[in-house]
Amino acid sequence: MLKYFTMTVDAVIVVAIAVGLLRGYAKAAGGRLGSIIAAALCGLGIVGAGVMAYLKNATRKIDTSLWNYRIFLVSLVVLGVLIILSILRLTAFRKKGAVPVGTAAACAAGLEAALGLFYSLPDVLAYPYTLLLTEQTVLSTEYLFKMIGMVLGLALMLLTELAVYRGYQRLGGASAHIILYLGLGVYGMRLGGQLIKVMITKRYILPNAPNYKTFFNITKFVSNNDVYFVYGLLAVLAAAAVIIWVMSLKQNEPYSNPAERRKIIRKWRVSRRWADLGVFCAGVMMLSILVLEPYANRPVELSPVEDVDIVDNCLYVPFEAVADGHLHRFGYTTPNGKHTRFIVVKKPGSSGYGIGLDACDICGETGYYERDGQVVCKLCDVVMNINTIGFPGGCNPIVIKYTLKDGAIRVPIEEMINNEGQFKS
């Protein structure tokens, strides 16, 4: 559960803050109409993300990097248009042209938010499907917990977006525009870095290009320091919350009777609560990045590879060596120098054994480890049903041929040689 919570937070943290800012600006610039337009475009972005999630995982029609290139490029163009329109709106604020410019700015803000959702959500929305490739059923406890983690991550995204959206509406004047431009600046720099990265990967920027080294260094910086862009947006969120708190403490709006005064007090109390929610969400995100994610992804040490005898061109494992019911790992180096491995575990309440390669068709050679009496895939954290080890399907170990004879398990050396391609070294 924890792993899928942190994975979801990583995927949506940036877009949650950006969409909140963009929707808040859309309402400020275009009023009720701007808010409706932005909300409708965000809805289209979410629907598009769902369609993209299906196409990525159920068909071969999607070149992910090419689609990312298109999304990043269009997003940067729309972002540039939005900034220009926001400046024009400032200059035309008291003029007749302010209303159409504000509506156009709201449309650009809504489109930018939709593009962010379209890019960020497909992988998250595909979690239920991709998990079914490794889990036996949606009714399993492991599947349920992982889905709960994903849902909690999406709930945090929704709360963050709502807090930023509501908080931005309570900013005014110069502070609103400063927060907007700071947030969009950080968001735009991240988009630009990601665009250059895809262009280098797709070889739209070739190594012999005049500024290739500069572009490569930008890509390297963005890849190695993406978390700093997240910190930048969280700092913008915290700054907006501080401004709202200061404004609420210094509020001196005029009133003519006690009822109006109570209304003003309530308005700023609600504003502080939205600011508090934003800070709380930022805190949970920081906790996820700094504490929960390292804990969830802490390296797992696989059990050591045990020695195995060779008898009659077979790897020979006596029953008594694996009779304790724990996972055992055995290795063999092929004539080509490939270090292959297979696992053996005695099935509970049975005289049978679960035997297979220490690799699977889905996760490769990352291997399996034992946790609380269960066999777990190191890469995807899926718990194996020990009774199904030795059968194909899901994240189960790749099936190999073996025989049980004279109190021992015998795995033909030829079988390991035939499967050496499953291992990289």
The strand pairing partners of 330, in sequence order, are 306, 342
Tell me the C-alpha distance between 139 and 135, whole Å: 9
Which of 170, 226, 136 is CA-nearest to residue 20? Answer: 170
The strand pairing partners of 357, in sequence order, are 342
Q: Which residue has the tokens 């004279």?
A: 406
pLDDT (0 to 100) of residue 95: 54
- Quote the distance between the C-alpha of residue 2 and its chain's center: 13
Tell me the C-alpha distance between 50 and 44, whole Å: 10
pLDDT (0 to 100) of residue 138: 65
With a CB cutoff of 8 Å and minimum separation 6, the contacts of 357 are 340, 341, 342, 343, 397, 398, 400, 419, 422
Sign of CA dihedral 125, 147, 139, 326: positive
The segments of the chain whose pLDDT lies below 70 read 92-99, 132-138, 394, 425
Contact 176, 31 (CB under 8 A): no
pLDDT (0 to 100) of residue 99: 63
pTM: 0.74
Residue 421: HSE in the Cβ half-sphere, 13 Å Cα cutoff: 2
pLDDT (0 to 100) of residue 96: 53
pLDDT (0 to 100) of residue 202: 81
Q: Tell me the domains of the chain and their CATH numbers.
A: 2-296 (no CATH), 305-422 (2.102.10)
Tell me the C-alpha distance between 142 and 405, whole Å: 36
pLDDT (0 to 100) of residue 255: 78
Tell me the C-alpha distance between 371 and 141, whole Å: 16
pLDDT digits over 384-404, tens only?
778 878 887 767 888 888 998
Which of 83, 31, 62, 77 is CA-nearest to residue 126? Answer: 62
Tell me the C-alpha distance between 278 and 284, whole Å: 10
